[in-house]
């Protein structure tokens, strides 16, 4: 960050946000030439991290309401420089210090400098959580209806849970890409985390009695509250028992054939073939879904949104397979047109194009137009 000579920032103004000379990464003593009152020194590990910015904004707002301003500096992770800087703050009669630091930094030498006249607040090992208590949002907001928006729809609640987890994953990816931090927690307790995670509302579920119905009910509640989030976060998939129960209860989406829509199955089976049997080129020669497509009276295209959702979710599984190193060379949608489906005859329609079996007239469905645009976007 370039430095330029300017006067001290106005009362309560956050120097970091306005780029004044009070920011000094090379010579932290530069901003301490004047004795000031109603000032708190703030030490940050880095200026360009998206992690510390919101924290600093909150500190700035709180200090400004109390008539204080901030003296912000970045002295890196060197503990000697941190101690020297805090000592200078004390000598210049600064009213206190706030130290933002990762957990792995030894802060005891800094603690020793604090007393009643010069308080030091250490915020170490901070964790940010883009998503807070997804189960509360999904279950209480969209299934039981106890909280906003007050809906009572199990399928909607599951979709909300899925998209909350998706949003969490995208936020984690964006954070790591922007901050350059790729560390993740592992089996080693000494391994540090990268400062971002998720806040789960985990509850222990106990059956009221040993009756099989109570045991089953407790397991389902545990699934909705706990494993529905823990399994995909740590094992990469949703809990099988919950998926099976939802399918039996008619909650999960199914096709007109009565088949569950489960793109994870496509991923698992091809990953198995690749891992256990062969690395030769693989092609998906048939993948699609039958739905109850009825041609509108005005002759417009059939709005087969369910088929578009089906294809989109399976294309995502294909993308993940390619990223995992599966030698997948091609994907063919079943099918181009509605056709004769063996035992089901003409009763089940898999096509992207609707066929009037009496007149043989063909009409593109919305899914055909979506598929066309998808292919164009990949060129």
Span 282-303, pLDDT tens digits:
999 999 999 999 888 877 789 9
Comparing CA positions, the residue from 222, 228, 234 lying closest to residue 185 is: 234
Q: Is 287 helix (H, G, I), strand (E, B) or coil?
A: strand
Examine the domain organization and report whether 216 and 242 are in the same domain. Answer: yes
209 is written with which tokens? 């009695």
d(CA 50, CA 328): 37
* DSSP single-letter state for residue 148: T
In a domain, 340, yes or no: yes
364 is written with which tokens? 């593109």
**Catalytic residue status for 212:** no
The helices-and-strands tally (H runs, E runs) of the chain is 13, 8
**Residues 210-244, buried b or exposed e (16+ Cβ, 10 A)?**
eeeeeeeeebbebbbbbbbbebbeeeeebbeebbe
Examine the domain organization and report whether 212 and 291 are in the same domain. Answer: no
Last residue of a domain, one of 124, 151, 186: 124
Q: Which residues pair with 354 in a beta bridge?
A: 363
Residue with tokens 């079943």: 334
When pLDDT is cut at 50, 70 and 90, the band that residue 186 belongs to is very low
Examine the domain organization and report whether 37 and 98 are in the same domain. Answer: yes
Examine the domain organization and report whether 166 and 193 are in the same domain. Answer: yes
d(CA 293, CA 303): 8
In a domain, 99, yes or no: yes
Residue with tokens 């993940």: 320
Cα 21 from chain centre: 37
In a domain, 129, yes or no: no
Examine the domain organization and report whether 292 and 197 are in the same domain. Answer: no
Strands 353-355 and 362-364: antiparallel
The upper half-sphere exposure of residue 141, i.e. CA atoms within 13 Å in the direction of its Cβ, equals: 15
d(CA 114, CA 99): 12
Comparing CA positions, the residue from 22, 36, 30 lying closest to residue 68 is: 36
For Cα atoms 54, 57, 58, give the angle at the middle one, nearest 5 degrees: 90
Examine the domain organization and report whether 119 and 172 are in the same domain. Answer: no
In a domain, 1, yes or no: no
Q: Is 338 helix (H, G, I), strand (E, B) or coil?
A: coil
Range from 247-256, 332-341, 370-379 carrying the lowest mean pLDDT: 247-256
Examine the domain organization and report whether 119 and 161 are in the same domain. Answer: no
For the chain, the domain total comes to 3
231 is written with which tokens? 């399994």
Q: Which of 133, 156, 260, 264 is catalytic?
A: 133
Last residue of a domain, one of 219, 248, 277: 248
Examine the domain organization and report whether 355 and 310 are in the same domain. Answer: yes
Comparing CA positions, the residue from 154, 128, 140 lying closest to residue 52 is: 128
The alpha helices in the chain, defined as continuous H runs, are 15-18, 52-65, 79-91, 108-111, 134-135, 141-142, 154-179, 212-222, 228-235, 240-248, 263-276, 305-323, 366-377
Q: Which of 104, 244, 286, 316 is catalytic?
A: 286
The pLDDT of 54-81, averaged and rounded, is: 80
In a domain, 256, yes or no: no
d(CA 225, CA 221): 6
337, 351 contact by CB (below 8 A): yes
Range from 137-146, 181-190, 263-272, 308-317 carrying the lowest mean pLDDT: 181-190
Query: Containing domain of residue 322, as a range?
Result: 263-377
pLDDT of residue 103: 52
**Catalytic residue status for 133:** yes
Examine the domain organization and report whether 173 and 77 are in the same domain. Answer: no
CATH code where residue 277 lies: 3.20.20.80
pLDDT of residue 12: 33
In a domain, 6, yes or no: no
Strands 97-101 and 120-124: parallel
Comparing CA positions, the residue from 51, 52, 50 lying closest to residue 72 is: 52
In a domain, 9, yes or no: no
pLDDT of residue 375: 94
166 is written with which tokens? 């998706």
Q: Say if residue 305's pLDDT is above 50.
A: yes
Last residue of a domain, one of 95, 124, 153: 124
When pLDDT is cut at 50, 70 and 90, the band that residue 194 belongs to is low
177, 49 contact by CB (below 8 A): no
d(CA 355, CA 340): 11
Composition of the chain by helix, strand, coil, percent to 5: 40, 15, 45
| Per-residue model confidence as pLDDT tens digits over 75-111 | 777 778 888 888 888 888 888 888 876 654 566 787 7
Residue with tokens 């529905």: 228
Range from 128-132, 182-186, 208-212 carrying the lowest mean pLDDT: 182-186
CATH code where residue 41 lies: 3.40.50.2300
Q: Is 223 helix (H, G, I), strand (E, B) or coil?
A: helix
In a domain, 49, yes or no: yes
């Amino acid at each position: 960050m370039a430095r330029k000579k300017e006067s001290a920032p106005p009362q309560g103004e956050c120097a970091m946000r306005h780029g004044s000379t009070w920011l000094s990464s090379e010579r932290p003593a530069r901003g301490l030439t004047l004795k000031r009152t109603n000032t708190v020194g703030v030490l940050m590990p880095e200026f360009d991290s998206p992690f510390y910015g919101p924290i600093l904004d909150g500190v700035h707002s709180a200090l400004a309401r109390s008539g204080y301003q901030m003296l912000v500096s970045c002295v890196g992770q060197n503990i000697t420089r941190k101690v020297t800087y805090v000592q200078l703050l004390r000598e210049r009669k600064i009213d206190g210090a706030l130290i933002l630091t990762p957990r792995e930094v030894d802060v005891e030498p800094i603690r020793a400098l604090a007393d009643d006249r010069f308080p030091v607040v250490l915020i170490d090992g901070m964790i940010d959580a883009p998503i807070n208590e997804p189960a509360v949002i999904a279950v209480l907001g969209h299934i039981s209806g106890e909280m906003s928006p007050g809906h009572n729809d199990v399928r909607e609640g599951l979709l909300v849970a899925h998209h909350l987890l998706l949003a969490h994953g995208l936020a984690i990816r964006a954070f790591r890409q922007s901050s350059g931090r790729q560390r993740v927690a592992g089996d080693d307790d000494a391994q540090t985390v990268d400062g971002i995670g998720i806040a789960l509302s985990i509850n222990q579920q106990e059956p009221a009695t040993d009756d099989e119905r109570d045991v089953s009910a407790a397991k389902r509640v545990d699934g909705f509250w706990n494993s529905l989030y823990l399994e995909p976060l740590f094992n990469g998939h949703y809990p099988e028992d919950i998926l099976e129960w939802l399918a039996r209860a008619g909650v999960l989406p199914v096709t007109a054939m009565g088949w569950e829509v489960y793109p994870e199955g496509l991923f698992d089976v091809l990953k198995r073939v690749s891992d256990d049997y062969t690395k030769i080129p693989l092609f998906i020669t048939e993948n699609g879904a039958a739905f109850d497509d009825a041609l509108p009276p005005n002759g417009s295209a059939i709005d087969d949104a369910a088929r578009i959702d089906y294809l989109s979710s399976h294309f995502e599984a294909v993308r993940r397979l390619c990223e995992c190193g599966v030698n997948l060379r091609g994907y063919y949608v079943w099918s181009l047109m509605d056709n004769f489906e063996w035992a089901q005859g003409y009763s089940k329609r898999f096509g992207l194009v609707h066929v009037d079996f009496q007149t043989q007239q063909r009409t593109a469905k919305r899914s055909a137009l979506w598929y066309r645009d998808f292919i164009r976007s990949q060129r």
